[in-house]
Structure 1
């Protein structure tokens, strides 16, 4: 028996003009010779869109029937069939009952996942997070949901904690208060879920440093680059090299460094302005700043152009 690999595949072409280009008539499903017009193939399957999509027309309904993208995180992979409302006399029995009914509804597990994924996407959109973080958050939530490790915790709290973890793992950390601002959950509850998820999934996140927030905070405050560089230098010297702010969070140290650098420049910012952007209280900035002020001469970069001398910086 000859192997199937040895068979030659028959090529469609015009007998009289084998080298001629074939034209495909998608409406009739024919292949036509471009030289003599001979129909050399019929019943060609059109793999294109069934209808033209008018995506720019908001008033017209899109007749595309391809549906949404497949989500492999769901048990049904989004392939469950949902029958719409019955219309016309042929859709009803003599008793008035609908002939076609949904035999398969979305499972409660898929419904919970779908709601959580929607909540994660909404939160990420509010703080302009990329799609990679949304996908990582969805995967984290799926692992927690399948493992049933956080029973009794609300799905919204778990979703918020997954988004916080994903931000840190992707190298673009957000503060708890930033996540709280776009979520319905308290900072305390998100923190609890954060610790439980790390323990349940046996995963880790990198330690937060002052540099993770400095560029974003300074950009939101509209500070020039030289002030941002000085604040980054001050925070690194105070937290790592000189260790004069022990026990202080990186966010409060970053906020205090921005305050010190801005007060020494001509673009001065108040504690309240910085606190609103960084999400820390004025008293927190003040406490870190008081620890740094006595050694301010050692904290500024050598090439910093002082608009206000160090001895004239506010003592609070």
Structure 2
């Protein structure tokens, strides 16, 4: 672009155009091809300039990494809020074959304590995500569990506990806060940690997070999972109708109000209520089938059901009987 003198200084001459010397079309059709670094005429293809500099923003699209997404991402991965530091680290490659400089530098970098800490956290976060996905827990529960794990895993009071038990306890804590509680026995089935160890670690973690300014809301973590919370999940796994599911919740609520099965676990109460509700609405299901999906033995279900059968009139909604949807005579005798 030419320049003209304007008083003591210079200014660009906007009347001067860059056109193709071959075809000389006006207005010019100049195309900047940043992939090749060339500036070419869009009409005849003549290369007008080479080695041009791409002055656009340094946006890159990771379409292969996000399964076809077209949203651009800034150069580098997104910052992980659960890791410490700026995370703008340099990765040293091993180097070309036959050289030792790159290998030595990579070895020194791998010995960094910060890298080891972040690597351990990333491995733990991956396992927490796998367990939460196995229980179909929402993303908010996963994030809360990761935050609780990060704040508590290296606390002096928890150093004697295994990392598996800390991860399991973090999931229990996060699920209770989100009102989608899971029992210690359910978490133990995936984490290979005994329910007793998860319970002990959970109590320690709750105390640690309460005594620190962790920013985690501990409201809701004190109360355990009740039978009503388990009812819909158990009935869904058993393929029961919504009518039986609602009846099971009502029976479980009446059991708690009457104090009939005090001392039993929520899983036992839920299983016994399901056994009674399926019989009332003629969707009979064996105790063995219910035991397979609830984790409660068939003998425990039948023992608890005997106590419910003795006070069955108190547990059944009279409207079920008056409308003919349910019938007390369908209940198996003990």
TM-score, normalising length from structure 1? 0.76
2:248 counterpart residue number: 231
Q: Distance in 2 between matches of 1:50 and 1:281?
A: 54
- Which of 149, 152, 175 pairs up with 2:157? 149
- Which of 283, 289, 311 pairs up with 1:273? 289
RMSD over equivalenced CA pairs, Å: 3.9
Work out whether 1:117 is the aligned partner of 2:87: no
Asked which structure has the greater RCO (Cα within 8 Å, sep 6+), the reply is 1
- CA gap of 1:157–1:141, structure 2 versus 1, over 3 A, is same
Deviation of 1:48 (Å): 2.6
Deviation of 1:119 (Å): 1.6
- CA gap of 1:209–1:16, structure 2 versus 1, over 3 A, is farther
Q: Distance in 1 between matches of 2:75 and 2:309?
A: 64
Aligned pairs for 1:80-229 (under 5 A) are 80-87=89-96, 91=99, 98=103, 100-105=105-110, 106-107=112-113, 108-202=116-210, 203=218, 205=221, 206-229=223-246
Q: Tell me, what secondary structure is at the counterpart of 1:182?
A: helix
2:332 counterpart residue number: 314
Deviation of 1:190 (Å): 0.9
2:281 and 2:327 in contact (8 A); partners too? no
Q: Distance in 2 between matches of 1:44 and 1:234?
A: 70
- CA gap of 1:132–1:16, structure 2 versus 1, over 3 A, is farther
TM-score, normalising length from structure 2? 0.72
- CA gap of 1:187–1:301, structure 2 versus 1, over 3 A, is same
Aligned residues: 290
Q: Tell me, what secondary structure is at the counterpart of 1:303?
A: helix
Q: Distance in 2 between matches of 1:154 and 1:147?
A: 12
Q: Distance in 1 between matches of 2:274 and 2:294?
A: 10
Work out whether 1:49 is the aligned partner of 2:66: no
- CA gap of 1:67–1:177, structure 2 versus 1, over 3 A, is farther
Q: Distance in 2 between matches of 1:175 and 1:190?
A: 10
- CA gap of 1:284–1:71, structure 2 versus 1, over 3 A, is same
- CA gap of 1:16–1:213, structure 2 versus 1, over 3 A, is farther
Q: Distance in 2 between matches of 1:196 and 1:100?
A: 41
Q: Distance in 1 between matches of 2:192 and 2:87?
A: 27
2:5 counterpart residue number: none
1:5 counterpart residue number: none
Query: Could you give the per-residue CA deviations for residues 122-169 of structure 1, whole angstroms, max 9, x where no partner exists?
Result: 211222222211110111011112533212111111011111111111
Q: Tell me, what secondary structure is at the counterpart of 1:194?
A: helix
Work out whether 1:250 is the aligned partner of 2:266: yes
The worse-fitting range, judged by mean Cα deviation, of 259-268 and 281-290 is 281-290
Deviation of 1:284 (Å): 2.5
Deviation of 1:54 (Å): 7.6
Q: Distance in 2 between matches of 1:78 and 1:209?
A: 42
Q: Which has the larger radius of gyration?
A: 2
Q: Which runs of 5+ in 2 are unaligned?
A: 1-11, 18-29, 40-48, 211-217
Deviation of 1:285 (Å): 1.8
Q: Which runs of 5+ in 1 are unaligned?
A: 1-11, 32-38, 58-63
1:30 and 1:43 in contact (8 A); partners too? no
